[in-house]
Structure 1
Amino acid sequence: MADNADMKIRFTKMQGAGNDFIVLDETRGSLGLNRAHYRFLADRRYGIGADQILSVRPATRLDTDFAYAIHNADGGEVEHCGNGARCFVRYVLEQGLTGKDTIAVEVKRGTIVLLARQDGLVTVDMGIPVFDAAVLPFHPEALSRRQQQQATLWQLDLSAAGLAPVEAVLLSMGNPHAVLLVPDTRTAQVEAIGRAVQALPAFPASVNVGFLQVLGRDHARLRVYERGVGETLACGTGACAAVVAGHQLGLFDSRVQVDALGGTLHIDWEGDGSRVMMTGPATTVFHGEIDLPEFPVLPTDMNHTA
């Protein structure tokens, strides 16, 4: 950290289908940020404002081009972000950090491959969905379940929050997701149910909660209540998880348009053992500099333990 009270850092603000990000260049060295710094940057009143912060870093392996870290608005590091991955590609190309159209990137749980298309959209190889409870992680003890087509629907007891039980398909897209079918996303109790599901002891690392409305075999609406953020305008891994869950339930074909609050994503998945491909927009909003306090404290941090 700098010797004086503040240090000035450069950033780029980006968005993908309304899911917004602060992107930091750490390819020439670490900025040395801690959880309080990430909270400060993401705060929409005292900082810049974003759902997540993406830190671009040098690759650590010969078969990859970059690595990057993802921090939520609460300062916690997470495993994966599909909308962030698309913004990552646009960023490294616009900043001249690479001339490649296809880029291999290290994330917390492996490697993802990203393709910048000529039409301005970005396609991300999101990997193979995982249903293993240990990977999510998920503790299924004492929970009832039923099978529908190829999917397992787990019943989640939300009585502690004064809510009716819900059924969810659980899977990992590099990060944990619980997908709930709803008749209409516009009237779904996204915050109340999202908070209640995340608080369940069955999810020791919490979970992203998706509210999926099926409009047809190739069309869906989706809202997502994300870990450490709350509801976002879009969630790339959430869209992938929703399509996989709907496909397993026998509701979707292999290509689905997913309409989020902030925009549209296209998800392709052929079924078990195949990789999920996500295509969508990535846009640079503005570049800037900010004076970052060495020990930033927000009013909301007074009763917050990191």
Structure 2
Amino acid sequence: MSRLPFLKMHGLGNDFVVLDARTTPLDLSLQRRRAIADRRLGVGCDQLIVLEAPTEDDADVFMRIFNPDGGEAGACGNATRCVASVVMDERKTDQVTVQTISGLLESQKTGMGSNGLPVISVDMGLARLDWREIPVREACDTNHMPVGLGPLQDPVGTNMGNPHATFFVDDLAEIPITELGPKLEHDRFFPERANIGVVQPLGEGRLRLRVWERGAGLTLACGSGACAAVVAASRRGLVDRKAEVIVDGGTLTMEWLRDGHVLMTGGIAVAFKGELDASLLA
């Protein structure tokens, strides 16, 4: 495999290497995916994104998502906004539909950010709340799941194309998320592992969020985690169905619509363009 062009993009610091395989398929083994995502030996990213030709007539592009451990993910809200921006620019349109393994995500440009790039809203799909859909090990009320560790207890379960457990705390700064996150991610209560979100309600429709992402670790922003946070907070009566979710990288505007879908709005950025050396693709 020869040199391969890529885009380095991010949504609020949640960063991606974006590869285009729409015309020529890429042979990306587990080892190659890990090498590209490695921050010391490769380009480095929270997720590796591969664009493919869509398989459904209603879609404009298929987005495949890989975590740094090489495993495939079902959803990534910040990556969806980035990919939507790329396709909107190519097609000179303000609306595109992004296909993922979890379903179709409709995206719309709603304005321009201070960096001159689009602000994009994405319908992240239906928030799934049944214990079998998340999934968890045993039948339970997903508004109060019987799992926890130390100060993190009594989470809300949500599936936003991937499984989330959202914990509420009084002081997020006091939570050692890098210590507790990986242990909870791998807790046997979650047969497919889980993204671990920790939320501090701030009042007036604002939530402070950090997420230990399944297969990626602590990131500056997690779009599907922000979706899960607003759904969980609304179920607990802590916010209405709309909230600002403040992550380490910035702020997302989230709304849990009456039809059960979750709308996410935020900006994107292009960091740089480059080519992958053949040694990363060997």
- Could you state the TM-score of these two structures normalised by the residue count of structure 1? 0.86
**Once the 2 structures are TM-superposed, how far is the Cα of residue 37 of structure 1 from its aligned partner?**
0.9
Q: Which residue of 1 aligns with 2:53?
A: 58
Contact 2:38/2:68, CA 8 A, preserved across alignment: yes
- 1:139 aligned to 2:141? no
Shift of 1:217: 3.9
Taking the aligned partners of 2:229 and 2:148, their CA distance within structure 1 comes to 21
In structure 1, distance between residues paired with 2:220 and 2:278: 27
1:99 Cα deviation from its structure 2 partner: 2.5
Which secondary structure does the structure 1 equivalent of 2:111 belong to?
Answer: coil
Matches within 5 A, 1:26-41: 26-41=21-36
Deviation of 1:16 (Å)? 0.2
Q: Specify which of 136, 146, 154 is matched with residue 145 of structure 2.
A: 154
| Runs of 4 or more consecutive aligned structure 1 residues displaced over 3 Å after TM superposition | none
Instruction: State the partner residue of 2:37.
Output: 42
3-state SS of 1:152 partner:
coil
- The Cα of 1:192 is off from its aligned counterpart by 1.8
Q: CA deviation at 1:69?
A: 0.2
Question: Do 2:9 and 2:269's aligned partners in 1 also have CA atoms closer than 8 Å?
Answer: yes
Residues 123 and 165 (structure 1), Cα distance of their counterparts in 2 relative to 1, 3 Å cut:
closer
Whole-Å separation in 2 of the counterparts to 1:82 and 1:236? 4
User: Is residue 201 from structure 1 mapped to residue 194 from structure 2 by the alignment?
Assistant: no
Distance apart, 1:157 and its partner CA: 4.8
Given that 2:84 and 2:98 are in contact with CA atoms closer than 8 Å, whether structure 1 keeps it comes out as no
| 1:172 and 2:159 aligned | yes
Q: Distance in 1 between matches of 2:188 and 2:180?
A: 15
Q: Given the superposition, is the C-alpha separation of residues 245 and 58 from structure 1 closer, same or farther in structure 2, using an over 3 Å criterion? A: same
- Deviation string, structure 1 residues 180-209 (Cα, Å, up to 9, x no partner): 001122221211221121121121111000
Other-structure match for 1:129: 127
**Which residue of structure 1 aligns with residue 14 of structure 2?**
19
Give how far 1:164 is off: 5.7
Question: 1:292 & 1:101 partners in 2: Cα distance?
Answer: 36
Give the Cα separation in 2 of the matches to 1:284 and 1:164: 38
Aligned partners of 1:173 and 1:28: how far apart in 2?
29
Name the counterpart of 1:290: 276
Structure with larger Rg: 1
Alpha-carbon distance in structure 1 between the residues aligned to 2:143 and 2:262: 19
Tell me the TM-score normalised to structure 2 length.
0.93
In terms of mean alpha carbon deviation, does 112-121 or 52-61 score higher?
A: 112-121
| Percent identity of equivalent pairs | 37
CA distance in 1, matches of 2:33, 2:215: 12
Report the CA distance shift for 1:165/1:155 in structure 2 as closer, same or farther (over 3 A): farther
Partner of 2:69: 74
Measured in 1, the distance between the counterparts of 2:78 and 2:95 equals 16
Residue in 2 aligned with 1:278? 264
2-structure distance, mates of 1:21, 1:233: 12
Q: Does the 8 Å contact 2:151/2:175 carry over to 1?
A: no
Q: Is the CA contact (8 Å cut-off) linking 1:217 and 1:253 kept in structure 2?
A: no
Query: 2:184, 2:57 → 1: CA distance?
Result: 40
* Letter of the structure 2 residue corresponding to residue 34 of structure 1: S
The equivalent of 2:115 in structure 1 is none
Contact 2:231 2:241 in 1 (8 A): no
Residue 230 of structure 2 is matched in structure 1 by 243
**What CA distance in whole angstroms lies between the structure 2 residues aligned with 1:118 and 1:197?**
38
Q: In 2, are the aligned partners of 1:57 and 1:66 still within 8 Å (CA)?
A: yes
Question: Quick one: structure 1 residues 165 and 245, their matched pair in 2 at CA, closer, same or farther if it must change by over 3 Å?
Answer: closer
Whole-angstrom distance in 2 between the partners of 1:184 and 1:165: 11
Q: Does residue 116 of structure 2 align to residue 116 of structure 1?
A: no
- Contact between 2:155 and 2:165, CA under 8 Å: does it hold in 1? yes
1:186 pairs, out of 173, 193, 218, with 173
3-state SS of the aligned residue for 1:267? strand
SS at match of 1:117: strand
Instruction: State the Cα RMSD in Å.
Output: 1.7
Gaps of 5+ in 2: 113-117
**SS in structure 1 at match of 2:80:** helix
| 2:212 aligned with 1:221 | no
Report the AA paired with residue 113 of structure 1. E
Q: How many residues align?
A: 277
Deviations 1:233-262 (A, max 9, x none): 000000010000000000101221111001
The change in CA–CA distance for 1:47 and 1:134 in structure 2 (over 3 A counts) is same
